[in-house]
Amino acid sequence: MENFTFFNPTKIEFGVGKEQLIGQHLAAHGINTVLLCYGSERIKRDGLFDIVSQRLREQNIELIECGGIVSNPVISKVREGIALAKAHQVDAILSVGGGSVLDSVKAIAAGVRYEGDVWDLFTGKAPVESALPLFAILTLAATGSEMNPGAVVTNDETQEKFFISSTALFPKVSIINPVLMQGVPRDYLVYSASDVIAHLIEVYFTATVHPHLQSRLVESLINTVIETTEALLADPADYGARAQFAWAATLALNGLTFSGTAGFSYPNHAIEHSLSALFNVPHGAGLSVVVPAWMKWYIGRNPAQFERFARNVFGVDTGEQGIAALESWFNTIGTPTRLPQLEIKETALPAIVENVQSNVRLFGIADTYPPEVVTAILKNAL
């Protein structure tokens, strides 16, 4: 097992009705004015916005609205949020939405405290040194952003999808009420499942050390995601399944699964970020295409762990059978596994490979993933 530091100060409020606590939590942190960020107007139709604004009013907290954040969130919108936050001198940012809204909120929170252009923080030109306190009410479980210090945003001018990470970006409080997720459309549920599984297997397969303990935790989470996704497809109102799915998504990327491992990387995310950046495909849909393709390329580098995965997740014997079982499961739940299903043709490969190069540099894995390797992986997905 490798040396590590584990630190995760986010307070999680999990369960039915927990969104009612948002006013108290903001007040406990001394917040007077908050920028409330969200995506579509759905939260106004379904009553969530009313609940939040009432709980804030009760605590005399002023609310500034910043709606219209889109999936694969863009830096231009982040800049708009920063301007609003500065104009109203808000002292916190509140995300009401899924990972896209929350990642935008993290970028806004950091950008307000940085004098230059916020994209500098994504390119590594400047580090994230501080941020406004940020809070979240989660309406989609997938990215794990609610209990980690990272955020991914796309530059809509340069078509780069980059990330930032800093302990300043841990949410102070994240509220996860599975009931708020019951309206998640079927396609976004299955994309979320593939996103969570991708988070789990990136570390599981790429780490240079694989303590049994960490492997067991990952397998526990993958098996939970598989089981609960199937339950939710059968009955979207299954609260127990919805709740376990959500908590598994949080635990998949909160530090638990990689503490004690080493040398791991996120090649599937590095490649997928280019698909999202160039073709605006849903992140999870891109991942379910990339993951099996990458596994077929990678299996020879870690055959023992692939065999373990096959056995402990799908109850099959060989690593190859495990990959086939995962691909088949993705097909069964209805998330794509081939590029043409994303309407991406073979002729687009050179542009993707080109775009991936900045991502693999950013992820620190350029040596392992030169253009010819990325091409080979993508060809597995044709």
How many residues bind its own copies, per CB under 8 A? 39
Q: How far apart are CA 85 and CA 32, in angstroms?
A: 13
Segment near its own copies (CB under 8 A); pick from 62-70, 210-218, 278-286, 321-329: 210-218
User: Is residue 234 near its own copies by the rule CB under 8 A?
Assistant: no
The string of DSSP letters for 231-245 reads HHHH-TT-HHHHHHH
Quick one: how far is CA 26 from the chain centroid? 24
User: Which residue's CB is nearer to its own copies, number 9 or number 350?
Assistant: 9
Tokens of 125: 């030109």
Q: How far apart are CA 375 and CA 30, in angstroms?
A: 52
Binding segment (CB under 8 A) for its own copies, from list 4-12, 65-73, 114-122, 360-368? 4-12
Q: How far is CA 180 from CA 21, 98, 183, 240, 308, in A?
A: 14, 11, 7, 13, 36
Vertex 102: Cα angle to 249 and 150 (nearest 5): 70
Per CB under 8 A, which region of 27-35, 100-108, 252-260, 369-377 contacts its own copies?
252-260
Instruction: Give the C-alpha distances (Å, rounded to integers) separating 317 from 94, 225, 293, 323.
Output: 47, 21, 20, 11
- Judge contact between 270 and 213, C-beta under 8 A: no
Please identify which residue in 67, 150, 211, 236 interacts with its own copies, judged by CB under 8 A.
Answer: 211
Residue 150 contacts its own copies per CB under 8 A: no
**179 near its own copies (CB under 8 A):** no
Nearest-approach distance from CB 10 to its own copies, in angstroms = 8
Tell me the residue length of the chain.
Answer: 382
Whole-angstrom CA distances from 20 to 23, 34, 121, 171, 315 are: 7, 16, 34, 17, 43
Give the binding range for its own copies (CB under 8 A) out of 29-37, 96-104, 219-227, 370-378: 219-227
Which segment (13-21, 55-63, 88-96, 331-339) binds its own copies by CB under 8 A?
13-21
- From the list 40-48, 61-69, 127-135, 222-230, the region that binds its own copies by CB under 8 A is 222-230
Q: Give, rounded to a whole angstrom, the gap between the first and last alpha carbons of the chain.
A: 38
Which one of 183, 185, 240, 364 is in contact with its own copies (CB under 8 A)? 240
Tell me: does residue 223 bind its own copies (CB under 8 A): yes
CA dist., res. 101 & res. 61, Å (int): 21
Find out whether 270 and 365 touch, Cβ atoms under 8 Å: yes
Shortest Cβ distance from residue 8 to its own copies (Å)? 7
Query: Two tokens at 205?
Result: 């397969």
Per-residue binder mask for its own copies (CB under 8 A), 283-322, x = binder: ----------------------------------------
Among 27, 63, 83, 256, interactor with its own copies by CB under 8 A = 256
- Cβ closest to its own copies, residue 4 vs residue 68: 4
Pick the binder of its own copies from 49, 191, 247, 298 (CB under 8 A): 247
**Contact residues for its own copies (CB under 8 A)?**
1-9, 11-18, 178, 211-213, 216-217, 219-221, 223-224, 227, 239-240, 243-244, 247-248, 251, 256, 259-260
